[in-house]
Amino acid sequence: MTEPGKTLDSESTGSEYEGRIAFVTGAGRGFGQAFSQALAARGAHVVMADIDGAAAAAAAQEIVAGGGGASALTCDVADEASVAAAMAAVRREHGGLDILINNAGLHSEAYNIPMAQAGVPMLRRLFDVNVMGVIICTLAAVPLMAGRAGASIINISSTAAYPVPTAYGVSKLAVRGLTAAFAREFGAQGLRVNAIAPGLMMTDTIRAELKPETVAYVRAQQAIDREGLPGDVVDAMLFLTSAAASFVTGETLKVGGGFTLGIG
Ligand SMILES: NC(=O)c1ccc[n+]([C@@H]2O[C@H](COP(=O)([O-])OP(=O)(O)OC[C@H]3O[C@@H](n4cnc5c(N)ncnc54)[C@H](O)[C@@H]3O)[C@@H](O)[C@H]2O)c1
């Protein structure tokens, strides 16, 4: 068993990531950076895409300095042309893609407000990034993944997609639906599509932005009384992208210490 918050060690996953090409959105910080570090540590080359190109470049540089394979791209997942250009670069430089992680998303306190208060422009951007971003990146990536043994896509949903009281939760409910739909649509091409629904995880953004009372409320609802950490989500990603999950597709795996028990 892995120590809470730590990632699976490379021994337990073998070298199945060696030489594989991964594309991670929102890779400049938080989960995206942690996913990239874990994949690169296991021998994958990670293309780190973020709307904040400087953050992606710095995060990639850190991996490269440590001897891993990574490169950075400025990319807005909600912008079809931006994603098309990024995928064209992947095709040119790497010839194909084995792992896509649709991680970029808008979240945190700003989106946990009533919809009438948020207003249409803010809601449109939320759904453009969290929902259309998954669609745009998936459709652009699938032609690069076709015929690559073990290829798989991971979407990042949220436990907020279970009680769905917020616009954010609804956007992440759509991610669960897209995961099932894409798994069905692309299964015949040998592609698996799964999602992870993290509970509250203490990334730098969450630590900086979330009110302590919100953090305390979520923890009180969990069955496991500790903070969720990015490493918990990384472990789920490593399972779902590995051969150990070769018969698993269309699923959303909740990683939230039991936050949603009794809800869904
Ligand atoms: N942290 C949590 O507790 C938590 C819980 C459940 C789900 N999630 C989900 O996990 C994902 C990552 O969360 P995080 O906590 O690491 O977030 P974060 O805010 O720390 O990082 C998100 C990254 O995505 C990038 N990004 C934002 N919009 C983008 C766009 N249009 N195109 C490309 N990149 C963009 C940002 O620049 C940033 O680097 C999100 O989808 C979030 O909704 C997070």
How do residues 207-253 score in pLDDT, each as one tens digit? 888 889 989 998 999 999 999 999 999 999 999 999 999 999 999 99
Q: For 247, list phi and psi in degrees, rounded to 5.
A: -110, 15
Verify whether ligand 1 is closer than 6 Å to residue 205 (CB atom): yes
Residue 258, in any domain of the structure: no
Radius of gyration for the chain, computed over Cα atoms and rounded to the nearest angstrom:
17
Calculate the average pLDDT of the chain: 93
Question: At residue 4, does pLDDT exceed 80?
Answer: no
Between 182 and 261, the more confident residue is 182
Determine whether 111 is an active site residue: no
Q: What is the pLDDT of residue 264?
A: 66
Catalytic residue among 17, 111, 162, 168: 168
Percent of the chain with pLDDT over 90: 83
8 Å CB contact between 103 and 24: yes
Mean pLDDT (whole number) for 30-55: 98
Verify whether ligand 1 is closer than 6 Å to residue 33 (CB atom): no
Burial of 89 (0-12, 13-18, 19+ CB in 10 A): middle
Residue 233 to residue 197: CA distance in whole angstroms: 9
Q: Which atom of ligand 1 is nearest to the CA of 33?
A: 16
Residues of 116-154 as b/e, b for ≥16 C-beta within 10 angstroms? eebeeebbeebbbbbbbbbbbbbebbbebbeebebbbbb
Residue 161, in any domain of the structure: yes
Residue 3, in any domain of the structure: no
Expressed in angstroms and rounded, the spacing between residue 205 Cα and the centre of ligand 1 is 9
Verify whether ligand 1 is closer than 6 Å to residue 68 (CB atom): no
First to last CA, the chain: 26
Residue 54, in any domain of the structure: yes
Residues of 23-50 as b/e, b for ≥16 C-beta within 10 angstroms? bbbbbbbbbbbbbbbbbbbbbbbbbbbb
**Number of folded domains in the chain?**
1
Domain that holds residue 198: 15-252
| Nearest protein CA to atom 8 of ligand 1, as residue | 158
Q: What is the pLDDT of residue 15?
A: 82
Q: What is the pLDDT of residue 114?
A: 85
- Tokens representing 13? 């996953």
pLDDT tens per residue, range 145-177: 999 999 999 999 999 999 877 999 999 999 999
Expressed in angstroms and rounded, the spacing between residue 188 Cα and the centre of ligand 1 is 30
Least confident of 3-12, 38-47, 111-120, 165-174: 3-12
Question: At residue 6, does pLDDT exceed 60?
Answer: no
pLDDT grade for 113, boundaries at 50, 70 and 90: confident
Residue 182 to residue 161: CA distance in whole angstroms: 18
Verify whether ligand 1 is closer than 6 Å to residue 79 (CB atom): no
**Which residues pair with residue 23 across a beta bridge?**
47, 100
Residue 168 to residue 260: CA distance in whole angstroms: 16
8 Å CB contact between 236 and 253: yes
Q: Which atom of ligand 1 is nearest to the CA of 200?
A: 3
Instruction: Say which CATH number the domain at 50 has.
Output: 3.40.50.720
Residue 10, in any domain of the structure: no
Residue 51 to residue 106: CA distance in whole angstroms: 12
- Tokens representing 32? 């995206």
Mean pLDDT (whole number) for 53-69: 98
Residue 82, in any domain of the structure: yes
